[in-house]
């Protein structure tokens, strides 16, 4: 199937469109009902007419009852909402954030857009169907199993299970196209340590090379988030550097800068001041990665918070994190609190692996402990 990365409303979106009376609404409500226990689903209906919504019997009411997390309807003249709040007819950056929080978006309508779509056809509309007039059709749904279109995936409208499988496999394929890279957060000023923490040697090599070696064991590319004035550091030579686009905003600046400059890449971020980090803890996070969410992170039950600096940030998290920046909120932990995330329970015996070392005394103690562990 053809995959187009550019999206209109959501990175994982698909439109069900066709002619009135072909059963679109009934099928979509069945799909949402079947999948909503496993996924957070948004629904957006494009209506060419003046409308009302969220009343019993209305399409939007059916989708809400079926389990959609966000139910929206728009026309050329107005827009209304069931769950989320929107303003003008064109979705602005800020207004789109709640849509982004859904795992994926099912759209009814927008037949003449470039949104990937599943097209409903009955016997009459099949005769009139012209592939060149409707772009990016992934599959055809017919009202009769005897009807079909050559060289295209065909479904009968009663094949709910098969259509659900097709949808999820399509979204998983898009997610699989998202590369996973390692990001070392090294842009701090190390004021308490008194020397650049990226250069510290805990394992026979500096922290940049050590963490890069962990990433390499998963065949991932490595990037270093840093300040522009760190560029000349000798251990940064020949490395992939991403300079912070924002000054004095801590690790959040590095995360947002990396996502902004690499919009089709998910980043496994690791702070440079974690000398006990190892392959096992990264493997656990990667194994539990959920690319439908904004991020996959460890939940620290001892501290009762999400750990933001050993976390996989998906490309779409850029929109949520940028919105937090706009509100002058730069704490990565608070960012995760305001995003849809996949939480991975941090095993108690892994707690030490995420200890950050900030002072000379802490460094000496860490070196002693690492020597004892050899």
Domain architecture of the chain: domains with CATH: 13-176 (3.40.50.300), 179-373 (3.90.550.10)
Q: Which residues contact 302 (CB under 8 A, 6 or more apart)?
A: 348, 351
Q: What is the pLDDT of residues 174-197, one digit of tens each?
A: 999 999 999 999 999 899 999 999
For residue 139, the Cα-to-chain-centroid distance in whole angstroms is: 25
Six-digit token pair at 252? Answer: 């959040």
- Collapsing DSSP to helix, strand or coil, 195 comes out as coil
Q: Give the rounded percent of residues in the chain with a pLDDT score beyond 70.
A: 86
Least confident of 32-46, 52-66, 249-263: 52-66
Six-digit token pair at 275? Answer: 């000398």
Q: Can you tell me the mean pLDDT for 228-237?
A: 94
Tell me what the pLDDT averaged over the chain comes to.
86
Six-digit token pair at 286? Answer: 């990667």
Higher per-residue confidence, 48 vs 203: 203
Six-digit token pair at 346? Answer: 């941090």
Prediction pTM value:
0.87
**Range from 191-200, 319-328, 329-338 that averages highest in pLDDT:** 191-200
Query: Rounded CA gap, 152 and 149, in Å?
Result: 6
Least confident of 48-62, 159-173, 301-315, 347-361: 48-62
Six-digit token pair at 175? Answer: 């997610």
Query: Rounded CA gap, 79 and 90, in Å?
Result: 9
Predicted local confidence at residue 290, as pLDDT: 97
Residue with token string 């002072």: 359
Higher per-residue confidence, 279 vs 65: 279
The helix or strand, by DSSP H or E, that contains position 184, with its residue range, turns out to be strand 179-185
Nearest to 74 by CA among 42, 41, 51, 100: 51
Checking if the pLDDT of 90 tops 70, the result is: no
Checking if the pLDDT of 78 tops 90, the result is: no
Higher per-residue confidence, 183 vs 134: 183
Residue 158 CB coordination number (10 Å):
14
Predicted local confidence at residue 4, as pLDDT: 42
Q: Can you tell me the mean pLDDT for 264-288?
A: 97
Q: 24-35 and 59-66 are packed helices; what angle lies between their axes, rounded to 10 degrees? A: 20
Checking if the pLDDT of 82 tops 50, the result is: no
Predicted local confidence at residue 231, as pLDDT: 94
Query: Rounded CA gap, 200 and 257, in Å?
Result: 24
Q: What is the pLDDT of residues 153-165, one digit of tens each?
A: 899 889 999 999 9
Q: Can you tell me the mean pLDDT for 138-161?
A: 84
Checking if the pLDDT of 236 tops 80, the result is: yes
């Amino acid at each position: 199937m053809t995959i187009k990365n550019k999206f209109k409303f959501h990175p994982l979106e698909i439109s069900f469109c066709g002619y009135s009376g072909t059963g679109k609404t009934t099928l979509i409500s069945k799909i949402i009902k079947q999948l909503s226990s496993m996924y957070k689903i948004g629904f957006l209906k494009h209506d060419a007419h003046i409308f009302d919504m969220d009343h019993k019997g209305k399409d939007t009411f059916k989708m809400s009852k079926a389990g959609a997390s966000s139910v929206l309807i728009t026309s050329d003249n107005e827009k209304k909402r069931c769950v989320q709040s929107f303003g003008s007819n064109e979705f602005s950056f800020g207004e789109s954030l709640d849509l982004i929080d859904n795992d994926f978006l099912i759209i009814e309508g927008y037949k003449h857009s470039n949104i990937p779509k599943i097209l409903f056809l009955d016997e009459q509309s099949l005769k009139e169907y012209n592939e060149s007039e409707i772009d990016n059709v992934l599959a055809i749904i017919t009202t009769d199993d005897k009807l079909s279109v050559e060289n295209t995936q065909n479904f009968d409208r009663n094949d709910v299970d098969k259509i659900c499988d097709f949808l999820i496999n399509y979204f998983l394929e898009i997610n699989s196209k998202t590369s996973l890279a390692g990001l070392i957060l090294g842009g701090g000023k190390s004021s308490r340590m008194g020397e650049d923490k990226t250069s510290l040697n805990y394992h026979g090599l500096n922290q940049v090379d050590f963490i890069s070696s962990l990433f390499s064991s998963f065949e991932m590319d490595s990037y270093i988030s840093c300040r522009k004035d760190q560029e000349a550091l000798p251990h940064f030579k020949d490395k992939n550097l991403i300079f912070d686009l924002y000054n004095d905003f801590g690790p959040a600046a590095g995360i947002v800068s990396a996502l902004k400059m690499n919009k089709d890449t998910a980043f496994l971020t690791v702070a440079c001041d974690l000398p006990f980090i190892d392959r096992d803890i990264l493997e656990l996070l990667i194994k539990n990665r959920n690319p439908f969410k904004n991020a996959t992170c460890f939940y620290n039950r001892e501290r009762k918070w999400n750990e933001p600096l050993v976390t996989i940030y998906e490309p779409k998290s850029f929109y949520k994190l940028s919105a937090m920046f706009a509100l002058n909120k730069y704490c990565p932990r608070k960012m995760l609190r305001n995003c849809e995330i996949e939480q991975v329970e941090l095993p108690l015996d892994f707690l030490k692996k995420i200890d950050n070392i900030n002072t000379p005394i802490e460094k000496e103690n860490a070196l002693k402990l690492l020597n004892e562990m050899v």
